[in-house]
Structure 1
Amino acid sequence: MTTLKGPGIFLAQFMGDTAPFNSLESICKWAKSIGFIGVQIPTWDSRLIDLQKAAESKTYCDELKGIINSCGLEITELSTHLQGQLVAVNPAYDALFDGFAPEAYRNNPPARTAWAVQQLKYAAIASKNLGLSAHGTFSGALLWHTVYPWPQRPAGLVETGFNELAKRWLPILNHFDEQGVDLCYEIHPGEDLHDGVSYEMFLEKVNNHPRACLLYDPSHFVLQCLDYLTYIDHYHERIKMFHVKDAEFNPTGKQGVYGGYQNWINRAGRFRSLGDGQVDFKGIFSKLAAYDFKGWAVMEWECAIKHPEDGAKEGSVFIKDHIIRVTEKAFDDFASTGNNEKFNRNILGLD
């Protein structure tokens, strides 16, 4: 068994226009000051990283690591959630997702997709240059608007959608394999990979690609009423990243999973700061330790109620308190009679 690394923090929700949240060095110093030892870097924010430069220059990556290490931190992983989303976009969402891409690629879906694919390939090389073994992203979605089948889905629609999704991702997965980096999909509503069944459908289409791995975030499963502990039993061999994020689901006589078009504060299912929701983190950390998860426990903060800086301060302590320092010996070693084949055979009446 392995003791999880952490606490780490995903910087995406904390970047801003004022200090200390407006530059890599200052936000790293802030993260260290409140107890974090690792940072997960969103690659779409140029204040944190120039992704293309990181792919093209090992020297730049060494300088980047130097800044972060000088603050007493490590890089946990890179993230391309926004770019990954753009690998597969149904036309119904073109206008909404155009904002995820540079202005030069808007109103031009093929160019936007090509840009996103290149971003993922840069991320694979950048991860290798930074000495990282895993990378987080989204799958994108061609089928999400049909998730509730009304009108009923035409025969073969899902098959066609997953064939196309696999066709787009397989060259990217191969590129990550060439760099020795696992590509971890965050299983998430709004993505075609949104639960275990849809992930398995995709996995089959990409020939069980060894790099098609998982970013485990239990908060998205709470909101789907999915058994997030048994999920670990099913997929622990593929789980290479871990977002520590809390959530709650409180259905009423007026709303449930779909939320009635309400904003986050008024939904039955909503994300919460660590410790304020319903996720059984003791069970999760125990399972990940037992399954020898070798990655980082990284806080992703999303809460409609609590201030983010308070959520971050509490989150670092919360993760520290939940990381299990795994044992190096069995609790009953004191009663051991040793390892002796002759003695064992005698006990079994074999001699």
Structure 2
Amino acid sequence: MKGPAIFLAQFASDEAPFNSLDSITRYMADLGYKGVQIPTWDARLFDLKLAAESQDYVDEIKGICAQNGVEVTELSTHLQGQLVASHPAYDRMFDGFAPADLHGNVAARTEWAVQQLHLAAKASRRFGLKAHATFSGALLWHTFYPWPQRPAGLVEEGFAELARRWTPILNAFDENGVNVCYELHPGEDLHDGVTFERFLAAVGNHPRANILYDPSHFMLQQLDYLAFIDFYHDRIKAFHVKDAEFRPNGKAGVYGSYSGWADRPGRFRSLGDGQIDFTGIFTKLTHYGYDGWAVLEWECAYKHPEQGAAEGAPFIARHMIRKADKAFDDFARTGADIGLVRQVLGLQ
């Protein structure tokens, strides 16, 4: 496993040092980060179209990062991926994820989003990256609770349509040698293990359909995030290190009562302030041979982001495991001796 790294989306702003790739990467490197995940929609930091077209531009970006002591871990198209599939109930709220001239034009906005993913596939290849972070979008999320009763075939057709939209994108990433890593997240049709399996079946077990593992979203759903690794470790190709807590009370539970983040029973927290068992997570990922990046995605209802970033790098570093190359009790090894083995078994 490589790290610590940090997702830049929550930190980019118009204020220095967060308003350019040069200054923000220098800031993060000074905190101890070794890698950065880049939000491709933020023009203050990155030009996705140029990265897809120009190796010189990509080399320039890599040079800036290297000079400041970090490397690019993955590119992210979370916002664009959301727009690959969007139910009309959310169109007005999601318009802000696209350029202003596409607002109110769902067909054009979707076409733009798909093009963005194709650009991201090419840009990732130019960077030499093997994983890409994104969202799946959602056609079914407004029906996640089965009331009113869903009409027969609704779920099946929803995933079939999602597969029709994503299969050409997955093929494009395959052509460029890059895994698409869906962050399984409430608000997306891919939000847990079962929905990921539905999608995987609909895209014919496409080898590029993989997972960005983020335990915080599983904590808020009350899903066993450690057992999840046992089930899906072969598809986990990216990792967001994000903490959360779930403290239900006599008035509110999983659904959150339409409350703001600070007042919900389920909340994102800075690393170490929540309830996630990161020792267990890092142990399981190490056990299964995860060799990607450990990337902090900072989100917290209380703590200032700069404090969260400063605390995040040493937290991740403390949890990273250098896998042992021999057993701890090898000092007592008796060696390979079939005669001894048979004696121990009482066979001679």
Distance 1:219 1:298 in 2: 13
Distance 2:347 2:207 in 1: 44
What is aligned with 2:271?
274
Task: After superposition, give the CA deviation of every residue in 1:196-238 in whole Å (9 maximum; x if it has no partner).
Answer: 1111000000001111000000000110010000000000000
1:96 and 2:93 matched: yes
Distance 1:43 1:94 in 2: 21
1:142 and 2:139 matched: yes
What is aligned with 1:256?
253
What is aligned with 1:71?
68
What is aligned with 2:129?
132
Matched residue SS, 1:76: strand
What is aligned with 2:27?
30
1:285 and 2:254 matched: no
* One-letter amino acid matched to 1:310: Q
CA shift, 1:150, in A, is: 1.2
What is aligned with 2:297?
300
1:119 and 2:145 matched: no
Q: Which runs of 5+ in 1 are unaligned?
A: none
Matched residue SS, 1:219: helix
- Name which of structure 1's ranges 43-52 and 278-287 shifts more when overlaid on structure 2: 43-52
Equivalent of residue 2 in structure 2, options 2, 5, 13: 5
Matched residue SS, 1:318: helix
Equivalent residue runs for 1:1-351 within 5 Å: 4-340=1-337
Task: After superposition, give the CA deviation of every residue in 1:295-323 in whole Å (9 maximum; x if it has no partner).
Answer: 01100000010010001111111101111
Matched residue SS, 1:223: helix
CA shift, 1:337, in A, is: 2.6
CA shift, 1:350, in A, is: 8.3
Distance 1:348 1:150 in 2: 62
CA shift, 1:60, in A, is: 1.0
Matched residue SS, 1:36: coil
- Name which of structure 1's ranges 211-220 and 47-56 shifts more when overlaid on structure 2: 47-56
TM-score by structure 1 length? 0.97
Matched residue SS, 1:301: coil
CA shift, 1:338, in A, is: 2.7
Distance 1:256 1:106 in 2: 35
* One-letter amino acid matched to 2:148: P
Matched residue SS, 1:237: helix
Distance 1:346 1:222 in 2: 51
Identity %: 68
CA shift, 1:348, in A, is: 6.2
Distance 1:349 1:149 in 2: 61
CA shift, 1:90, in A, is: 0.6
Q: Which runs of 5+ in 2 are unaligned?
A: none
* One-letter amino acid matched to 1:183: V
Cα RMSD between the aligned structures? Answer: 1.4
Point out 4+ residue stretches in structure 1 off by more than 2 angstroms: 337-351
CA shift, 1:46, in A, is: 1.2
CA shift, 1:339, in A, is: 3.5
* One-letter amino acid matched to 2:272: G
Distance 1:25 1:339 in 2: 56
Distance 1:51 1:245 in 2: 26
Distance 2:330 2:130 in 1: 35
